[in-house]
Amino acid sequence: MNPHTVFLVLIVLGAVWTACWAAVLVSSRRTVPFERLEKSETRIRITLLAGFALVAIVLFAVTLRWLPFRESRVAKMGAPHTIVTVTGMQWSWALSTRQLPVGVPIEFAVSSRDVNHDFALYDAHGRLLAQVQGMPGYTNHLVYVFPAVGEYTVRCLEYCGLGHHTMSATITVTDR
Amino acid sequence: MTAAERPVSTALLAPDRSNGAALRASMAYMVAGLGTVLLMGLLGLLMRLDQAGMLVISPAWFYRVMTLHGSGMIAAVLLAALGGIAAAVSATTPLSARALWIALVVYMTGNGFVIFATLVGGFGGGWTVLYPLPEHGIVWTLQAALAIYAGYFFVALGLLLFCVHILFAMRRAHGSLAKALAWRFLFSLGRDKRDALPRPVELIAVVIAIDGIAAAGAGLIYLVPLFAQASGAITTVDALFAKNFVLLFGHTIANLSIYITAGLVYAALPAYTGRAWPTSWPVAAAWNLIIPLMLLNYSHHLYADFAQPVGLQLLGEIGSYAVALPSFIVTIIGALALIYRSGIRWTVAPILFALGLWGWVFGGLGALLDATIPVNQVMHNTLWVPAHFHTYFVLGALAFALAYLWSILDALSGSSERRGTRAAAWLYGIGGAGFILMFFVSGANSVPRRFAVHLPEWQVYARIAVPFVLLLALSLAWLSWDLSTRFGSAWRATRRPVVGP
């Protein structure tokens, strides 16, 4: 999922909503008896309810195919080629390896030594690719396939104290 | 007679002798809430200036300011909303002014602890006080963490007292809570009208009081183990358990603000459009559905916690979609239908109500996208998250609360409206829209939230946002000044009966 696509969806939906909203505001300069509108209002409500319910059901079905959790990703991508142990701590990351192969499933087993952290992978263009929480007392498993060779940045996206913004690491992805 | 010629009805907005004292307490809530919003807004401006690289503050101070801004804003908007709903309800349901004042004092005591913890104690653990960070602050002490816990305890207690009082008052007025929720009417699909139906705002008051009690309960369930740990009674608290309950508390009270203030739209907008908004079957059904749905959607904040049971994750997505449907289909469409070809005169309050409708939906769209699990993977914990909640706080709940306060003060004081204030209301919308749009753009470009220091390539978004924040601040200051000039005469007017048209 590309964040720019998400933004585009917001802008398109937002523009449609803004146009409807503005049309209602502009319409208010004229008057009609409210009784004449009530049947239309009910019809609009039923149509919108049916339409939105349908969209929600479709979105939910799509979601089920694209769940980011370990079992869903393993079923889709295959068994992990490499398992990387990741421990978050105020304010650094400890990774069992920082050299990883391209194009194969990598499993990050993420935990924390102190507070909640969020292990987030960024590409060289500064785009967020995937994330999982690092929590004290738990190990969360993120499976991810690096699409291209290059340098990737790990950032912490769960606020973890004074040095939160400095908590980063680098992963180098190479040809196998 | 068109709505433009019709005087604003004071029947629903103004008091008679029976509710003047409750109305004064309600106005104190709203003024305290909106005053705090102004101060917290200045802290927000400070943070945006820092992120733009235009005014550099140390990370220690940035995170203290961030914590105070977040917790202060959540508490302030909720307080203004509670005052609004109390004022609206008190027009037809007797409320105890003493109970309202006690809840306010308890609530403000909590705010005092939060200010003390951050400004004096140096606490900078974020408004979410996510366990175990408050106890691992390194630069602040356990005492500062305990002070913020105490602050949240008193805020939750104040909310609890308020909600319990509302439930008792509504039960006394309607005979039972089932009647106050229009259940006989609802479950007979609108055929059984033997019970006198509550006004929409009364029904909404019961809904939010039930969810408010649930939220306060979740807050206490979160805090009690933390106090127990601090006292040495237990050694550790499960991080996932704590996270679920702190978000059930925090997310629900943030949601409460928008739903409570939506109730104010039902209470006041009909007076401006000259059209009635009664408790129809869709209204009763929508608001009864919101009781459970508002408590389900918090878990969309835990999608990245893969240890959370998948069923709860999916419930978060279903709950987020589901709660949007009754809100949009019934409240938003209902409000737009009220305005459509109504001949409404665009004075300050209707402008702010209209802006609130826009912001609630636009922010909701951003929230729904983030509540979709695969989308959440690449948007969560970026500035997309503050983007959506600032949209329906600044251009939703706060706009509604301001509009309602304006309605009351306008009706009570009888002062004429200044043209400049109408312009300020529109400018509030423009400033707010530009401000939140740059948050969305930042989120789309994966800029993390809660970062004291922004990379040079991220600073451009904050720089574009700053003029809009200034416009927002200036327009809000103008609106507040105009409100303040009406406050004295409005306050005095609550001491004498006001006859509606």
Identify the residue among B47, B51, B372 best suited for mutation to test binding to A, counting A beta carbons within 10 A and taking the highest. B372
A-chain CB neighbours of B138 within 8 Å are 90, 161-162
Q: How confident is the model at residue B8 (pLDDT cuts 50, 70, 90)?
A: very low
Q: Which residues contact B89 (CB under 8 A, 6 or more apart)?
A: B95, B166, B169, B170, B201, B202, B205
CA B131 to chain centre: 24
Residue A41: per-residue pLDDT: 85
- CB-based contact B306 A137, cutoff 8 Å: no
- CB-based contact B321 A60, cutoff 8 Å: yes
Categorise residue B134: left if φ over 0, alpha if ψ from -120 to 50, beta otherwise. alpha
My answer on whether A90 and A32 are in the same domain is no
Residue B414: per-residue pLDDT: 81
Residue B435: per-residue pLDDT: 97
Any A CB within 8 A of B448 CB: yes
B-chain CB neighbours of A18 within 8 Å are 358, 362
A-chain CB neighbours of B303 within 8 Å are 68
For the cut 60, the answer to whether the pLDDT of residue B3 exceeds it is no
Any A CB within 8 A of B132 CB: yes
Which residue is closest to B274 within chain A, CA to CA?
A34
CA B497 to chain centre: 31
pLDDT digits (tens, 9 = 90+) for B276-331: 999 999 999 999 999 999 999 899 999 999 999 999 999 999 999 999 999 999 99
Residue B462: per-residue pLDDT: 97
Q: Where are the domains of chain B?
A: 20-345
Considering only the C-alpha atoms of chain B, give the largest distance between any 2 of them, rounded to a whole number of Å: 71
Neighbours of A13 (CB within 10 A): 16
My answer on whether A37 and A78 are in the same domain is no
Residue B2: per-residue pLDDT: 41
More confident residue, B180 or B137: B180
For the cut 50, the answer to whether the pLDDT of residue B499 exceeds it is no
For the cut 70, the answer to whether the pLDDT of residue B406 exceeds it is yes
A-chain CB neighbours of B359 within 8 Å are none
Cross-strand pairs, A106: A82, A144
- CB-based contact A17 B362, cutoff 8 Å: yes
Helix (H) or strand (E) holding A131: strand A128-134
Any A CB within 8 A of B474 CB: no
My answer on whether A105 and A30 are in the same domain is no
Which whole number is the average pLDDT over B81-98? 94
B-chain CB neighbours of A7 within 8 Å are 440-441, 443-444
Q: Does domain B20-345 have CATH number 1.20.210.10?
A: yes
Which residue is closest to B1 within chain A, CA to CA?
A31
Helix (H) or strand (E) holding A108: strand A105-112
Residue B16: per-residue pLDDT: 52
Task: Round to whole Å and give the CA distance between B371 and B374.
Answer: 9
My answer on whether A26 and A82 are in the same domain is no
- CB-based contact A165 B451, cutoff 8 Å: yes
Q: Which residues contact B437 (CB under 8 A, 6 or more apart)?
A: none
The sheet carrying A140-145 orders its strands as A92-95, A82-89, A105-112, A140-145
Residue A85: per-residue pLDDT: 98
Q: What is the 3-state secondary structure (H, E, C) of B189-238?
A: CCCCCCCCCCCHHHHHHHHHHHHHHHHHHHHHHHHHHHHHHHCCCCCCCC
CA distance A175 to chain B (A): 25
Task: Round to whole Å and give the CA distance between B221 and B229.
Answer: 13
My answer on whether A79 and A144 are in the same domain is yes
Residue B497: per-residue pLDDT: 58
CA distance B498 to chain A (A): 29
Query: Is B200 within 8 Å of B263 (Cβ atoms)?
Result: yes
Query: Is B63 within 8 Å of B124 (Cβ atoms)?
Result: yes
My answer on whether A105 and A120 are in the same domain is yes
Of B3, B132, B450, the CB nearest to A159: B450
My answer on whether A60 and A110 are in the same domain is no
Residue B212: per-residue pLDDT: 97
Region of poorest pLDDT, from A60-69, A104-113, A137-146, B63-72: A60-69
- Of the residues A47, A65, A83, the one at which a domain ends: A65
Which whole number is the average pLDDT over B408-418? 86
Residue B348: per-residue pLDDT: 95
Structural domain including A157 reads 70-174
pLDDT digits (tens, 9 = 90+) for A140-175: 999 999 999 999 999 999 999 999 999 999 999 999
Q: What is the 3-state secondary structure (H, E, C) of B389-455?
A: HHHHHHHHHHHHHHHHHHHHHHHHHCCCCCHHHHHHHHHHHHHHHHHHHHHHHHHHCCCECCCCCCC
Of A25, A141, A161, the CB nearest to B133: A161
CA distance A163 to chain B (A): 8
Residue whose C-alpha is closest to residue A161's, from B463, B279, B11, B66: B66
CA B443 to chain centre: 23
pLDDT digits (tens, 9 = 90+) for B426-470: 999 999 999 999 999 999 999 999 999 999 999 999 999 999 999
A-chain CB neighbours of B365 within 8 Å are 10, 13-14, 17
Task: Round to whole Å and give the CA distance between B264 and B472.
Answer: 22
> CA-CA distances (angstroms) from residue B325 to B16, B169, B243, B384, B475?
37, 29, 27, 22, 32
What is the count of structural domains for chain A? Answer: 2
A-chain CB neighbours of B445 within 8 Å are 3, 126-127
What is the CB-side half-sphere exposure of residue A91 using CA atoms within 13 A? Answer: 18
Cross-strand pairs, A152: A171
More confident residue, B416 or A4: A4
Average pLDDT, chain B: 92
Cross-strand pairs, A141: A109
Which residue is closest to B382 within chain A, CA to CA?
A157
pLDDT digits (tens, 9 = 90+) for A145-154: 999 999 999 9
For A153, counting Cβ atoms within 10 Å of its Cβ (0-12 exposed, 13-18 middle, 19+ buried), the class is: middle
Residue B8 DSSP label: P
Of A7, A31, A116, the CB nearest to B133: A116
Any A CB within 8 A of B362 CB: yes
What CATH number is associated with residue A138?
Answer: 2.60.40.420
My answer on whether A82 and A132 are in the same domain is yes
- CB-based contact B310 A138, cutoff 8 Å: no
Q: How confident is the model at residue A132 (pLDDT cuts 50, 70, 90)?
A: very high
Query: Is B192 within 8 Å of B184 (Cβ atoms)?
Result: yes
Residue carrying the six token digits 């059209």: B275
Which whole number is the average pLDDT over A80-109? 97
My answer on whether A78 and A123 are in the same domain is yes
Of B59, B306, B358, the CB nearest to A70: B306
B-chain CB neighbours of A34 within 8 Å are 275-276, 342
pLDDT digits (tens, 9 = 90+) for A56-93: 999 999 999 999 999 999 999 999 999 999 999 999 99
CA distance A6 to chain B (A): 7
Region of poorest pLDDT, from A5-14, A141-150, B2-11, B71-80: B2-11
> CA-CA distances (angstroms) from residue A176 to A100, A101, A146, B456?
8, 5, 12, 34
Task: Round to whole Å and give the CA distance between B30 and B402.
Answer: 9
Residue A58: per-residue pLDDT: 94
Task: Round to whole Å and give the CA distance between B326 and B287.
Answer: 7
Task: Round to whole Å and give the CA distance between A14 and B324.
Answer: 15
Residue A42: per-residue pLDDT: 87
Which residue is closest to B449 within chain A, CA to CA?
A157
Residue B263: per-residue pLDDT: 96
Helices (runs of H) and strands (runs of E) counted in chain A:
3, 9
For A77, counting Cβ atoms within 10 Å of its Cβ (0-12 exposed, 13-18 middle, 19+ buried), the class is: middle
pLDDT digits (tens, 9 = 90+) for B183-219: 999 999 999 888 889 999 999 999 999 999 999 999 9
- CB-based contact A116 B243, cutoff 8 Å: yes
pLDDT digits (tens, 9 = 90+) for B329-379: 999 999 999 999 999 999 999 999 999 999 999 999 999 999 999 999 999
Task: Round to whole Å and give the CA distance between A89 and B208.
Answer: 40
Query: Is B389 within 8 Å of B455 (Cβ atoms)?
Result: no
- Of the residues A12, A32, A65, the one at which a domain ends: A65
Of B128, B333, B440, the CB nearest to A7: B440
SS3 of residue B344 by DSSP: coil
> CA-CA distances (angstroms) from residue B265 to B89, B100, B234, B247?
13, 22, 47, 27
Q: How confident is the model at residue B487 (pLDDT cuts 50, 70, 90)?
A: very high
